[in-house]
Chains A and B, each alone.
Chain A
Amino acid sequence: MRTLLAIGVIAALGVPAHATEPAKPSAKKYVVPRTESGQPDLRGVWNYGSDTPFERPAQYKDREFLTPEEAAAISKQIRDRSAQLEAGDAGTPIDPTGGYNQFWMDYFGQGANLRTSLVIDPPDGRMPPVQPGVKVENGGLGPDTNGTLPVRFRVGGINKDGPESRGLSERCLMGYSSGPPFVPSLYNNIVQIFQTGTHAVIMTEMIHDARIVPLDGRPPLDPALTQWSGDSRGRWEGDTLVVETRNFTDKTTSFRGAGAGKDLHLTERFTRVGPNRVDYQFTIDDPKTYTKPFTALIPMVRADGDLYEYACHEGNYGLPNILSGARQDEHEATAKQGGTPK
Chain B
Amino acid sequence: MKLVAWISLVGISLAGLALANAAHAADKIARTPDGKPDLNGIWQTMGSAHWNLEPHNAAAGPVTALGALGAIPGGLGVVEGGRIPYKPEAAKQRADNKANWLERDPLVKCYLPGVPRATYLPHPFQIVQEPNTMLITYEFAGADRIVYMNRPGSRAQVDSWMGYNLGRWEGDTLVIDVTGQMPDSWLDSAGNFHGPNLQVQERYTPAGVNVLLYQATITDPDVFTRPWKISMPLYRRLDKNMQLLDFKCVEFVEELLYGKYRKGAAQ
- A contacts, CB < 8 Å to B: 35-37, 43, 160-164, 171-173, 192, 194-199, 201, 203, 208-210, 212, 214, 218-219, 221, 225, 227-229, 306-309, 311, 313-314, 319-320, 323-324, 326-327, 330-331, 342
CB distance from B123 to the nearest CB of A (A): 14
In which size bucket is the chain B interface? 35 or more
Contact of A314 with B254 in the complex, beta carbons under 8 Å: no
Q: Kindly list chain A residues whose C-beta atoms are within 8 Å of the C-beta of B160.
A: 308-309, 311
Taking CB atoms and an 8 Å cut-off, the chain B residues in 238-267 that contact chain A are 241, 243-246, 248, 250-251, 254, 257-259, 261-263, 267
Q: CB of B152 within 8 A of chain A? A: no
CB distance from B76 to the nearest CB of A (A): 32
Among B40, B146, B158, B257, the residue within 8 A (CB) of A320 is B257
Q: Kindly list chain A residues whose C-beta atoms are within 8 Å of the C-beta of B258.
A: 162-163, 319-320, 323
Query: Given the complex of chains A and B, what is the CA–CA distance between A186 and B161 in angstroms?
Result: 25
Contact of B245 with A225 in the complex, beta carbons under 8 Å: yes
Query: Given the complex of chains A and B, what is the CA–CA distance between A208 and B140 in angstroms?
Result: 13
Taking CB atoms and an 8 Å cut-off, the chain B residues in 129-156 that contact chain A are 129-131, 133, 135, 137, 142-144, 146
- B contacts, CB < 8 Å to A: 32-34, 40, 110-112, 126, 128-131, 133, 135, 137, 142-144, 146, 157-158, 160-162, 184, 241, 243-246, 248, 250-251, 254, 257-259, 261-263, 267
Contact of B126 with A212 in the complex, beta carbons under 8 Å: yes
Contact of A194 with B161 in the complex, beta carbons under 8 Å: no
Q: Kindly list chain A residues whose C-beta atoms are within 8 Å of the C-beta of B33.
A: 36-37
Supposing A162-B258, A219-B241, A320-B257 touch, asked if A198 and B40 sit within 8 A by C-beta, the answer is yes
Contact of B146 with A306 in the complex, beta carbons under 8 Å: yes
Contact of A210 with B254 in the complex, beta carbons under 8 Å: no
Query: Given the complex of chains A and B, what is the CA–CA distance between A308 and B34 in angstroms?
Result: 28
Among A308, A309, A327, the residue within 8 A (CB) of B267 is A327
Query: Given the complex of chains A and B, what is the CA–CA distance between A135 and B200 in angstroms?
Result: 50
Contact of B142 with A196 in the complex, beta carbons under 8 Å: no
Given contact pairs A171-B251, A210-B144, A212-B126, a sample of 12 additional A-B residue pairs in the complex whose CB atoms are under 8 Å apart: A43-B130, A163-B254, A173-B251, A208-B143, A212-B137, A308-B160, A311-B160, A313-B250, A314-B184, A319-B258, A331-B267, A342-B267
Nearest A residue to B145, CB-CB: A309
Contact of B142 with A172 in the complex, beta carbons under 8 Å: no
CB distance from B157 to the nearest CB of A (A): 8
